[in-house]
Structure 1
């Protein structure tokens, strides 16, 4: 048939391409591609991953959330170590020296009137009543030296190592000096000088070596 004069020409039918179907919509190629975001839409920003061991907000210290870290304390100065304890030899002879002086104390202060006591201490049975005050004083001097050694040993075994060691060494040096002076002033009293000085000298030597 002929076309009417003046009628617009009919447009050719649209062709279905491989990427679009009028019945099923997008083909497999469209389904595989990610959908495009609408115009003007901004993708959400991914949240920052929390640090290991610190979930959520920053935590100052474990178990105390929301608190700022405490001020760092300055390093403490190194603790001074106390001197080491005395060896067994020193302690044994400290006990021996203390025992000798404790025994001599009543002999000189209270029992000097007995002839046997005078012979033991001086080598003679002769008495000298005018020196009674001197004898009592010397007897208590021996008592105080013995108590000094006992105090030092107690300090050693109660956690006060430095003080106890210093006490024992000082009293031992005092005894050595006293025994040396006694022998130098009256050599015939050598037995008393040895009893006073020898145990104390062993204490000092044992600590020195």
Structure 2
């Protein structure tokens, strides 16, 4: 049962990072992107290229989690690695950008890591 919950939770985190990719790469200067990140149109246009780069990195994080999930038990270390990357990025973002990143990114990654280790 714990294995199914862990897998489901990791898949949700991967999907969250696909969503972040879409927001940062394609919707950054659109109303949905500006609302999600709290930017004015002017600020969004100025930082669009940087945001697209961030989005690409979030896509890599999602791809790594999907890869680990695809491998099943053999992907344990891969899942640990990518969840750890997400945790560190979430902590850094929560400290340097917006506190809510701790809850949106770091918290779920930490929870998934704990579930993974307890299950492993």
TM-score (norm 1): 0.51
Higher helix share: 2
Q: Which runs of 4+ in 1 moved over 3 A?
A: 124-127
Name the residue aligned to 2:103: 194
For the pair 1:179 / 2:90, whether they are aligned, the reply is yes
Q: Equivalent residue of 1:113, what SS?
A: coil
Name the residue aligned to 1:205: 114
For the pair 1:169 / 2:84, whether they are aligned, the reply is no
Q: How far is 1:126 from its partner? A: 4.5
TM-score (norm 2): 0.85
The one of 30, 37, 40 aligned to 1:125: 40
Q: How far is 1:136 from its partner? A: 0.8
Name the residue aligned to 1:65: none
Contact 2:83 2:109 survives alignment (8 Å): yes
For the pair 1:103 / 2:16, whether they are aligned, the reply is no
Q: Equivalent residue of 1:127, what SS?
A: helix
Matches within 5 A, 1:73-88: 87-88=3-4
Q: Which has the larger radius of gyration?
A: 1
